[in-house]
Structure 1
Amino acid sequence: MLTVITPAAKRDLTTLDAVKLELEVTDDAADAYLGGLIGQASRAIESWCGRVFAREGLRETVHLTEPAGTLLLSRFPLAAITSVTTEAGSLAPALYEAEAETGMLYRLTASGARSVWSPGRILVDYAAGFLLPGDEGRDLPPDIERAAILAVRNAWHARGRDQTVRSEDVDGVGSFSYGLPASLSADVTDLLAPYRLPGFA
């Protein structure tokens, strides 16, 4: 079970300034609209990838029915492990180690060798996720931000079109057909594929 203890102040994967630069928009008349598109695109990217990218403080409860060589935490990359508590009590930091990029948590012996996690309940308090564009020290991968910008750009250029129409005839011009668009286009999902969780493919 995963509980968010400290929610991210924002989860937008790009900034208004970056989007306006992409679209060559120089006034603020559409700022509110673009801000809404940024939020929608960011949520769509989270949904497609099956994960939240913004850094948050978390508490995860794991119930082991048998010994395990590693715990795979739900969120990554790991920024910090605050505490690890087993049924025997709180573990000293020297008794566990984590792989930040994968979210894997290992049990260590007193000598520093890797051991196994014993069956039972394990409680892990940690922070995971990226610092987003606009944050000091941002570390969100550039291709994720680029995907968000492209998603906003695509929505911006499609505004006003009736997305429920599959075909239409225009007298004297011709017939036009277009299918219902996916929530995210291929140019966006190609950038996001390396960050998609297994099971969401």
Structure 2
Amino acid sequence: MLTIITPAAKRDLTTLDAVNAELDRVTGPDDIFIGQLISQASRAVESWCGRIFAREDVRESVHLTEPAGALLLSRFPVAVINSVTTEAGSLLPALYEADSDTGMLYRLTSSGGRSIWAPGRILVDYSAGFILPDTEGRNLPADIERAAIIAVRNAYTGRGHNPALRSEEVDGVGTFSYGLPASLSTEVTDLLAPYRLPGFA
């Protein structure tokens, strides 16, 4: 079970400036529309990959029914482990270590060797995810941002014949509501494939 302690302030995987550069356009009336497409594309990327990329503080509860050599945390990359609590109490930081890239959390002995997690409930408070574009220290992989940019570009340039057109109102003004295509293009999914969780393959 995962509880979000501090949600990300934003989860957009690219920026208006990056999309405008891709489209070779300057800021203009379409900026609000493009901003909406960026948010839609970012959610679509998350959905396809089965994970959230923005850094958040979370609390994860793991229930072990048998001994385990490692715990696989739901969010990664792991930025910092704030606390680990077993049924015997809180563990000192020297008694665990995390593999940042994979989200594997290991129990350590007092001498620093790897040990076994005992059955029972384990609570882990940690911060995980990437720092997104347009934020100091950004570390979101460039191919994830590139995938989002392409998805936005495709939706923007194809809006005149968008298969995801949700509504059309011709009585009076004539209002159109656009969305992303039902599926991401192969160009996008090829970039995202290394970041997709196995269960979503």
Structure 2 CA distance, aligned partners of 1:105 and 1:182?
37
Structure 2 CA distance, aligned partners of 1:21 and 1:82?
39
Q: Residue 98 in 1 paired to residue 66 in 2? A: no
Structure 1 residues 164 and 196, CA gap change in structure 2 (3 angstroms)? closer
Structure 2 CA distance, aligned partners of 1:21 and 1:164?
25
Structure 1 residues 120 and 19, CA gap change in structure 2 (3 angstroms)? same
- Across the aligned residues of Structure 1 and Structure 2, the Cα RMSD in angstroms comes to 1.2
Structure 1 CA distance, aligned partners of 2:105 and 2:163?
46
Amino acid of the structure 2 residue aligned with 1:154: N
Amino acid of the structure 2 residue aligned with 1:87: E
Q: What CA deviation, in whole Å up to 9, does each residue of 1:110-136 have, x standing for no partner? A: 111100000000000000000000010
**In the TM superposition, what are the counterparts of 1:58-137 in structure 2 within 5 Å?**
58-137=58-137
Larger Rg: 1
- Asked if structure 1 preserves the Cα contact closer than 8 Å seen for 2:76 and 2:101, the reply is yes
Q: What CA deviation, in whole Å up to 9, does each residue of 1:98-153 have, x standing for no partner? A: 10000000000111110000000000000000000001000000000000000000
Structure 1-normalised TM-score?
Answer: 0.90
Other-structure match for 1:147: 147
Moved over 2 A (4+): none
- Asked if structure 1 preserves the Cα contact closer than 8 Å seen for 2:55 and 2:127, the reply is yes
Q: Secondary structure at the residue paired with 2:199?
A: coil
Q: Secondary structure at the residue paired with 1:83?
A: strand
Q: What CA deviation, in whole Å up to 9, does each residue of 1:79-106 have, x standing for no partner? A: 0000000000000000001100000000
- Asked if structure 1 preserves the Cα contact closer than 8 Å seen for 2:155 and 2:162, the reply is no
Structure 1 residues 186 and 162, CA gap change in structure 2 (3 angstroms)? closer
Q: Percent identity?
A: 74
Structure 2-normalised TM-score?
Answer: 0.90
Structure 1 CA distance, aligned partners of 2:121 and 2:156?
48
Amino acid of the structure 2 residue aligned with 1:141: P
Q: What CA deviation, in whole Å up to 9, does each residue of 1:143-164 have, x standing for no partner? A: 0000000000000111021517
Other-structure match for 1:191: 191
Structure 2 CA distance, aligned partners of 1:27 and 1:19?
10
Displacement of 1:183 after TM fit?
2.0
Structure 1 CA distance, aligned partners of 2:182 and 2:86?
45
Amino acid of the structure 1 residue aligned with 2:80: A
Amino acid of the structure 2 residue aligned with 1:160: G
Displacement of 1:27 after TM fit?
3.1
Q: How many residues align?
A: 186
Q: Secondary structure at the residue paired with 1:45?
A: helix
Q: Residue 52 in 1 paired to residue 68 in 2? A: no
Structure 1 CA distance, aligned partners of 2:163 and 2:105?
46
Other-structure match for 2:171: none
Amino acid of the structure 2 residue aligned with 1:40: Q
Q: Secondary structure at the residue paired with 2:161?
A: coil
Displacement of 1:26 after TM fit?
1.1
